[in-house]
Chains A and B, each alone.
Chain A
Amino acid sequence: MLAIISNVLRASAQRNGAAVIMSARTYADFTTQATFEIKKCDVFKLDEGPATQVVLTRDEGLQYYRTMQTMRRMELKADQLYKQKIIRGFCHLYDGQEACAVGIEASINLSDHLITAYRAHGYTYTRGGTVKEIMAELTGRRGGIAKGKGGSMHMYCKHFYGGNGIVGVPLGAGVALACKYQGNNELCVCLYGDGAANQGQIFETYNMAALWKLPVIFICENNRYGMGTSVERAAASTDYFKRGEFIPGLRVDGMDVLCVREATRFAADHCRSGKGPILMELQTYRYHGHSMSDPGVSYRTREEIQEVRSKSDPISMLKDRMLSNNMASVEELKEIDVEVRKEIEDAAQFATTDPEPPLEELCNHIFCDMPSLEVRGTNPWAKLKSVS
């Protein structure tokens, strides 16, 4: 890590707008924090929304930058490995949506809970998985976060429940029920996409969460396309933040990490104060297709993708903010890029060289806490063993 440049003596950090205190552009001269104006959220059944003036500290900015860049490069590396056929099966990439995962995690605690659908690599990382474990899981090796038994869509870590092939929203409400039952002031973030938003189980979950005032933050990551179907072709109402009907909602710019962070902070306060569930729609975008088998250009134009990349890329947006407010230097950020690239390379190296899980592992983890169990193999003489 770069030497932590202590900049703390800038006691006179400006409050209004982006002020630049300059003497010489040395590392010791960065602004510790700056205030930014962010987009106002559309609200539904709420008297007020999240703040529009937010403070970002230099340390936070660097951390978000590093995390988002790590996620970005991790997904691009996964793309590469998939094309080399080292990753197989389903692979749903998250690049473009980094601000969502990072912004959410910035306003909740690791002791809170989170569950999402299959576009889960980013969340696995923000929830505490390492790039090494995630990549090794994608390549199906024993060092993977689920020992190679889960794959792209089924990664778990503490207080992170995957990674679900369909939707994990009803499960998430169950987690919230447990939080309420145990009175531990934790909450559960339940993510789903614009496609899943039309499913019946989502509405059943809205009903129960609101009825029992469960501490759930429902988050619809609206990336405009449910696989190849644009939102206009799938939903009678594309105001996903209003679909909770009796649940208050926010529509948030999901490409701006500060917007997401502020909205999540607002939502978390709402939940923890016992007001029940709240719904956030994050307007975001994915650069890749739905999955690696989808080029992603048959239902949208390359121009559209390019436009989002140039005008709204979450990492670029943060970078510009930090640079133009003297919160970091170009070299510093480049250094982070280099470190991230190395981390990804090392992880990819591990993921391609780590051996596959041993065959003895095949039948393990069927049941918990069971002494050795016999499992039928492919033929009657193949009697395999299962250990918890």
Chain B
Amino acid sequence: MAASLRCFLRSGKNTVSALQRRDFHRSAPAAVQMTVRDALNQAMDEELERDERVFLLGEEVAQYDGAYKVSRGLWKKYGDKRIIDTPISEINVLLQAGLRPICEFMTFNFSMQAIDQIINSAAKTYYMSAGLQSVPIVFRGPNGASAGVAAQHSQCFAAWYGHCPGLKVVSPWNSEDAKGLLKSAIRDENPVVVLENELLYGVPFEMSEEAQSKDFTIPIGKAKIERQGNSITLVAHSRYVGHCLDAAAVLAKEGIECEVINLRTIRPMDVETIETSVMKTNHLVTVEGGWPQFGIGAEICARIMEGPAFNYLDSPVTRVTGVDIPMPYAKILEDHSLPQVKDIIFSVKKTLNI
């Protein structure tokens, strides 16, 4: 796929995904290629091993190895007690008192069946009980558009879950994000929603030596600057970080240097990193796959206006979003329902008045 090709180019390796070749080197190579799927798998494997109270439940996670194979091999290793196949009951059983469950939703579209439990029980309980009852639970699964799965299976839930106090919401982009954020989510004492992306599961990314460690975590609530630049700030989460980097590569040829920020966490959002960047570049474009109204970009706009960065803006913030329609099926229509690299390039130039 075009996306994976670009990832290879970006990481600088022209070889097909390399496995560690200890027999050819005196020491193990510093970085390794790993797909997002394997990174998530490794994160869960390590956390299951580390803490007996952690377990995974969801549809097809055990014997089927996971609908998207994210939990491949875990049932074989940990057995029926720790990896549980559930019937189609998104409601699943939530308050596993004293345990640390990972609840997989086959896609976050199905989480709407359990959303009462996620919001009213998981998110609010610590507050309602004034600190008596904590809920250390992780909800994870693919979020947003996939390919050709049409309207009921393509919605992005970042804004819905990002709206609610009591929840933490993360949205990893690459393999390091996936592993580090999922491990942090599992170790967190609070309910965390992990919005993965199905199209990224099979994409290999470089994993640094640090990221390969069993204790590698990424703090929830901190964004990452993936690319430094001076001309304009691009903020995105999940798959669109990749799109922004692609757009930045094209724009660089025209002398426009984009600073690309990977949000990593939707809630609590790291607005400071965005503000610092905007105060340097004076221009901001947000990119997301979700619908425009009441979305991530809308929130960023509001926060920028309320903070110190507003006075540094040379033009209004531009939001690049999914088209405000239910997702159509036909490929040509689907392609035009979501932000493409050319849309980002176009928006950057408009924002810069070029």
- A positions within 8 Å CB-CB of B: 113, 115, 146-150, 154, 156-157, 161-166, 168, 170-175, 177-178, 181-182, 201, 204-205, 207-208, 211, 364-370, 373, 375, 380, 388
Contacts and interface: CB of A to CB of B under 8 A. Distances in A.
Given A175-B96, A368-B131, 8 more contacts: A162-B129, A168-B95, A174-B101, A177-B93, A178-B96, A178-B99, A201-B91, A365-B130
Contacts of A146: 128-130, 132
Contacts of B99: 177-178, 181-182
A174 B127 contact: no
B129 A150 contact: yes
A171 B89 contact: no
B324 interface: no
Contacts of A174: 92-97, 101
Interface stretch (B114-122, B144-152, B281-289, B325-333): B114-122
Contacts of A181: 55, 81, 96, 99
Contact of B130 (A113, A150, A170, A211): A150
22 contacts: A148-B130, A156-B128, A162-B125, A170-B92, A170-B94, A171-B95, A174-B92, A177-B93, A178-B96, A178-B98, A181-B81, A181-B96, A204-B91, A205-B89, A205-B91, A207-B89, A366-B126, A367-B168, A368-B189, A369-B190, A373-B268, A375-B165
B281 to A, nearest CB: 22
Contact of B94 (A113, A147, A148, A171): A171
A148 B128 CA distance: 9
B228 to A, nearest CB: 27
A363 B87 CA distance: 38
A151 B122 CA distance: 18
Nearest to A158: B132
A204 B94 CA distance: 13
B4 to A, nearest CB: 37
Given A164-B121, A178-B98, A170 B93 contact: yes
Contact of B166 (A207, A208, A366): A366
B268 A365 contact: no
A201 B98 CA distance: 23
Contacts of A172: 95
Contacts of A164: 120-121
Interface string B306-317: 110000000000
B11 interface: no
A380 B95 CA distance: 35
B94 A367 contact: no
Contacts of B116: 166
Nearest to B189: A368
Nearest to B122: A171
Contacts of A208: 86-87, 89, 93
Interface residues of B, number: 38
Interface string B162-183: 0001101000000000000000
Contacts of A177: 93, 96, 99
Contact of A156 (B98, B132, B190): B132
Given A170-B117, A205-B93, A161 B133 contact: yes
A197 to B, nearest CB: 16
B134 interface: yes
Contact of B131 (A148, A170, A171, A364): A364
B86, B128, B133: residue with the most chain A Cβ atoms closer than 10 Å: B128
A368 B134 contact: yes
B91 A175 contact: no
A174, A175, A205, A375: residue with the most chain B Cβ atoms closer than 10 Å: A174
B252 to A, nearest CB: 35
B73 to A, nearest CB: 21
A156 B99 CA distance: 18
User: 7 closest Cβ contacts across the A-B interface?
Assistant: A174-B93, A380-B306, A147-B130, A171-B95, A368-B189, A154-B128, A368-B134
Contacts of A154: 128-129
Contacts of A366: 126-127, 165-166
Nearest to A176: B93
B268 to A, nearest CB: 7
A273 B131 CA distance: 34
A161 B95 contact: yes
A157 B130 CA distance: 11
A69 B307 CA distance: 58
Nearest to A373: B268
A174 B135 CA distance: 12
B95 A150 contact: no
Nearest to A202: B91
A177 B189 CA distance: 19
A146 B124 CA distance: 13
A137 B133 CA distance: 16
B116, B130, B168, B190: residue with the most chain A Cβ atoms closer than 10 Å: B130
Nearest to B95: A171
Contacts of A369: 134, 189-190
A173 B86 CA distance: 13
B131 A113 contact: no
Contacts of A168: 95, 121
B55 A171 contact: no
A373 B91 CA distance: 30
A150 B128 CA distance: 5
B126 A368 contact: yes
